[in-house]
């Protein structure tokens, strides 16, 4: 049997240098290869004209450049695009591109499904299937950049921001997510600034500690509740790592960044009658008084299997007002592009979960007719 070829798409610059050194080649080959793969969008070695024929043939024998398979691609009238891609386990995950003036944000998945089962999240309701490899994570960027026509000279930059807010909990797939984010920020690959790559977590405290010294990307925390009792209900991982411990870990990471002007983004999904009262807004302001942050309010997006509702516009505005009056920079995530079904944090994909949750999910989807159009969220960071 032929040995499995190494997929070079997911290797960082350092890993590629090791790969070439082991082949008896000079490490600078890594730089050449990265430009071909990530900036020119090549997925075969033939076109890599600055390498000898012999080296190209050797690479083709030992290695490949393989992005996940595109199952479908949808474009909204407002330019929002969604790709459904199949990963090695057979499950499908989603990637969403949201243009907003000069900004283009790509929402990337880190796992097929999610084990954390937050009560308001459709990904969580499907259970967990598998971690994505670094190649499957960066492959989503590779696919988007290629489809959007971003040129190698960087003049036509389509993807200016990346948010790890697709399917999955990024800190539970730590190494692959870190390596993929290294590639996003590498000037020989996508050159996205560290401020514009955002990792969103539901609160995996050990993962936050591991980030210190390993990365310097921006951080978003999915808080969603001002106290432990309610957060235990909405975000079950809170039973393991309570709010105070979590805010401590967030502070430790933010303090590890040399640039003191950077702040954590607090994500707060507003669910009618659960966490949307003015009193809860005041409690949130009190809780965050020592956390330099900006707050992003996300009106809940309904989906099958959930009885939760989105609060009225008036309630949402009232909640925001309390936070603004308390001095917090507080933004409201707008919705748009309801002609294709996609929303960051609400992604469905098609997960072959190991917990049998997805069977229940699919049954509920089939039973709910006609499905309410799912809106795409913009301004994700
Ligand atoms: N697992 C990570 C990243 C993916 S979720 C995390 O939880 O942070 C990205 C964001 O979308 C999170 O803030 C999540 O809480 C939010 N979200 C999930 N389901 C949602 C829904 N139905 N409506 C609105 N926001 C939702
Ligand atoms: Fe997982 Fe995030 Fe969804 Fe929670 S909100 S179930 S952590 S993807």
**Exposed / middle / buried, residue 132 (Cβ in 10 Å: 0-12, 13-18, 19+):** buried
Task: Please tell me the distance between residue 345's alpha carbon and the centre of ligand 1 in angstroms.
Answer: 4
Task: Please tell me the distance between residue 121's alpha carbon and the centre of ligand 1 in angstroms.
Answer: 6
Task: Please tell me the distance between residue 66's alpha carbon and the centre of ligand 1 in angstroms.
Answer: 29
- Nearest ligand, CA of residue 222? 1
pLDDT tens for 26-45 read 999 999 999 999 999 999 99
pLDDT value, residue 375? 30
Check pocket membership of 121 for ligand 2, CB cut-off 6 A.
Answer: yes
For the question of residue 344 being annotated catalytic, the response is yes
Low-confidence ranges of the chain (pLDDT < 70): 1-2, 152-155, 335-381
pLDDT value, residue 231? 98
pLDDT value, residue 150? 76
- Which one of 94, 136, 169, 267 is the catalytic residue? 94
The answer for residues whose C-beta is within 8 angstroms of residue 173's C-beta and 6 or more apart is 110, 111, 131, 132
DSSP at 336 = E
pLDDT value, residue 351? 62
**Pocket test residue of 132, 173, 199, 202 for ligand 2, highest count of atoms within 8 A of CB:** 202
pLDDT tens for 117-166 read 999 999 998 899 999 999 999 999 999 999 998 776 666 789 999 999 99
Separation of alpha carbons 135 and 12, rounded Å: 10
Check pocket membership of 267 for ligand 1, CB cut-off 6 A.
Answer: yes
Check pocket membership of 265 for ligand 2, CB cut-off 6 A.
Answer: no
SS3 (DSSP) at 163: strand
- For the chain, where are the E strands, in sequence order? 6-7, 63-64, 69-75, 81-86, 92-100, 103-107, 111-113, 128-131, 161-164, 197-201, 218-222, 264-270, 293-299, 329-332, 335-336, 376-377
What is the DSSP secondary-structure string of 24-61?
A: T--TTHHHHHHIIIIIT---SSTT-TTS-HHHHHHHHH
Task: Please tell me the distance between residue 40's alpha carbon and the centre of ligand 2 in angstroms.
Answer: 34
Specify the residue with its C-alpha closest to ligand 2, atom 8.
168
For the question of residue 121 being annotated catalytic, the response is no
Give backbone dihedrals phi and psi of 97, rounded to 5 degrees, phi first.
-110, 125
pLDDT value, residue 245? 98
What's the full length of the chain, in residues?
381
- Nearest ligand, CA of residue 165? 1
The tokens describing 340, both together, are: 């294709």
Separation of alpha carbons 127 and 120, rounded Å: 13
């Amino acid at each position: 049997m032929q040995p499995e070829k190494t997929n070079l798409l997911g290797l960082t610059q350092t890993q590629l240098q090791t790969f070439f050194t082991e082949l008896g080649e000079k490490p600078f080959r890594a730089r050449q290869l990265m430009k071909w793969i990530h900036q020119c969008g090549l997925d075969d070695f033939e076109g890599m004209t600055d390498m000898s024929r012999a080296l190209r043939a050797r690479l083709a024998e030992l290695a490949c450049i393989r992005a996940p398979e595109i199952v479908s691609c949808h474009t909204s009238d407002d330019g929002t695009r969604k790709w459904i891609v199949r990963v090695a386990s057979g499950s499908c995950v989603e990637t969403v591109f949201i243009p907003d003036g000069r900004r283009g944000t790509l929402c990337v998945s880190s796992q097929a499904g999610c084990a954390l089962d937050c009560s308001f999240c459709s990904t969580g309701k499907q259970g967990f299937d598998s971690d994505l490899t670094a190649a499957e994570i960066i492959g989503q960027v590779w696919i988007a950049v290629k489809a959007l026509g971003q040129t190698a000279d960087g003049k036509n930059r389509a993807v200016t921001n990346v948010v790890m807010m697709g399917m999955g909990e990024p800190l539970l797939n730590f190494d692959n997510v870190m390596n993929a984010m290294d590639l996003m920020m590498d000037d020989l690959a996508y050159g996205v600034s560290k401020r514009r790559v955002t990792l969103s977590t539901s609160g995996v405290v050990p993962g936050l500690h591991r980030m210190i010294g390993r990365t310097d990307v921006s951080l978003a925390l999915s808080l969603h509740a001002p106290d432990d009792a309610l957060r235990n209900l909405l975000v079950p991982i809170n039973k393991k790592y309570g709010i105070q411990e979590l805010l401590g870990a967030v502070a430790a990471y933010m303090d590890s960044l040399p640039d003191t002007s950077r702040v954590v983004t607090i994500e707060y999904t507003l669910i009618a009658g659960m966490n949307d009262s003015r009193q809860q807004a005041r409690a949130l302001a009190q809780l965050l008084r020592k956390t330099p942050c900006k707050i992003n309010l996300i009106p809940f997006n309904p989906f099958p299997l959930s009885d939760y509702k989105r609060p009225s516009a008036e309630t949402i505005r009232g909640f925001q007002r309390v936070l603004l009056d308390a001095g917090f920079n507080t933004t409201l995530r707008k919705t748009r592009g309801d002609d294709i079904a996609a929303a960051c944090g609400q992604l469905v994909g098609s997960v072959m979960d190991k917990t049998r949750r997805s069977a229940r999910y699919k049954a509920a989807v089939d039973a709910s007719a006609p499905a309410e159009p799912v809106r795409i969220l913009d301004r994700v960071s």
